[in-house]
Chain A
């Protein structure tokens, strides 16, 4: 098991820079998710850790050892691919045993290890089947088995659930996390699906355009987003941004939002007047006649226990998550009230969050 350290890692292809100087540490035994839209550099970062891609600059340390330019085979890590990459000319048992065969292990020992791994994944009955006959979930289990059998220092997974249907993905999420808790191996998990990342990871790195925007626990990333990108990317529906112009003084507990004053968590930095955005999660909005921001109900989306109500205000369309029992009429004019303790402030120019009492020291990537 291992700690992975990334230092100023950069990768460019010709003109295009895929990964730009990120630095972070993945602690031993952590389930670390790299989350971001496609093309954000998360897969490239993962492939550099694996040794399938060489970085243009920077260092990769595995347990303190610099492995930046080591061959993939010399790093003792396992990679799980999105499309599983099971060898079609081998059966399940041979697929799982393949990494051990590569290392030249004795046949009997390979058989034992394969059995043991299969037992752990509950696929013992499939060992002699052809991989083409398997369901998506079983293929994924075989791919995991092939990764686990070698007991590597770390697992790298590139959207391993991306090829499964939604229902199965949810089930596999649970299995993966359960497996991680038993094996306790450092796992780097790349995904564009925030639900996967939120439900499984100990730490999430949110990436955008080759940069790590924020690293934190799922709660930190959700509750105290370090930038507008993170705030927007995580959460469904995403955070509402209400734009306004104004200056800030450290110690203030309210901001001048257009014509009114809105209570916010205590501000911890000084700002000259600049375009700002007030970030409000849909679940921190209530309808109240006295609400400072007023708007007209545009539509409601019923989700069982809650409903998402969209309201057209003078500052843009706002989504609010209300209990489904609340009765809402389309076209009705209502007032919105925000939960002051959970508001976030952003500098629109840089996109970064402004420090307040609610977000003590968000970690900028």
Chain B
């Protein structure tokens, strides 16, 4: 097919009427409110006192406090008022805040190492999955691979059941290999789950890039790998960004395996957050503070890549 003919098959776009636009806009706003409201509630709860957080009816207007964040980052012990009175005056604002509740700070909580675990495991597995996925997708897209269709189907089939279905065999295997509760173990696991998604998504994107680009580069003096890096990848950036976000969202939010396979050293945020216990039960402001903190990196990552993402999600999905 000639380029001109290929272009002419694009759909013509009919401008929507103002009423349709208003209706569509209204729907989008409604949907945004529904999805953003819980998030806003969480952010607000993080600034409430414990009693405000569980007040009924729920308080929309309240006196903000940083107690939730202080409780999230510290471990505290309850003391008698007499003991506290005998202590030297508080050095910092958070010491003061805690002492008002008849408590003293005993040390930092585990939240920072858990958060670091999440970052390392989330981004590490995303990088690996996208890296391996790109190479595999390129090979599937460009080379004559025996049984390519069967292999691709096999790769996809690993996602046909919920990954947790194989949790127990994986647990046993990991125990045997001493991979339980290690960052490496979690990175490998999330990479394995994500790589199938990455291969399929990226193959679609790479298929859209005309082969002639690399062939021109090959004739002009590049090796296959150089051509991939300098010619194919710059054009696949959109797809790579979209794939990376999908992979990161999965490994960042993954809960079931994290509960099962991590308990200490390598524990990530999702299993950590629900177990933030305060006095006499769940410390909801601290949980909300942790959740807020947890959402920030993924929002930042998505915002950074949003230019690619918008095009990426629609591009490649539709075959011309």
Which residues of A are at the interface with B, using a C-beta cutoff of 8 A?
13, 50-52, 71-73, 75, 77-79, 81-85, 87-89, 98-99, 102-103, 136, 146, 150, 162-163, 165
Contacts and interface: CB of A to CB of B under 8 A. Distances in A.
B3 A83 contact: yes
Q: What's the dominant secondary structure at chain B's contact region?
A: helix
B221 A102 contact: yes
A52 B218 contact: yes
Contacts of B215: 50, 52, 72, 79, 81, 85
A262 to B, nearest CB: 44
A81 B219 CA distance: 11
Contact of A73 (B210, B212, B222, B234): B222
Given A87-B231, A89-B234, A163-B4, A78 B220 contact: yes
Contacts of B222: 73, 102
Contacts of B221: 73, 99, 102-103
B270 to A, nearest CB: 38
B294 to A, nearest CB: 36
Contacts of A72: 215, 218-219
Interface of B: 2-4, 144, 210, 212-213, 215-223, 226, 231, 234-235
B212 A85 contact: yes
Nearest to B215: A52
Nearest to A53: B215
Q: What's the dominant secondary structure at chain A's contact region?
A: loop
Contacts of B223: 71, 73
A85 B216 contact: yes
A81 B231 CA distance: 16
Given A88-B235, A163-B2, A50 B213 contact: no
Nearest to B221: A102
B287 to A, nearest CB: 46
A83 B4 contact: no
A163 B221 CA distance: 26
Contacts of B220: 73, 78, 98-99, 102, 146, 150
Contact of B217 (A13, A84, A102): A102
A72 B210 CA distance: 18
Contact of B213 (A52, A87, A165): A87
Given A73-B223, A81-B215, 12 more contacts: A52-B215, A72-B219, A73-B221, A78-B219, A78-B220, A83-B3, A85-B215, A87-B213, A87-B231, A136-B3, A163-B2, A163-B3
Contact of A50 (B3, B4, B219, B226): B219
Nearest to B209: A88
Contacts of A102: 217, 220-222, 226
Nearest to A77: B219
A107 to B, nearest CB: 16
A85 B235 CA distance: 13
Contacts of A50: 215, 219
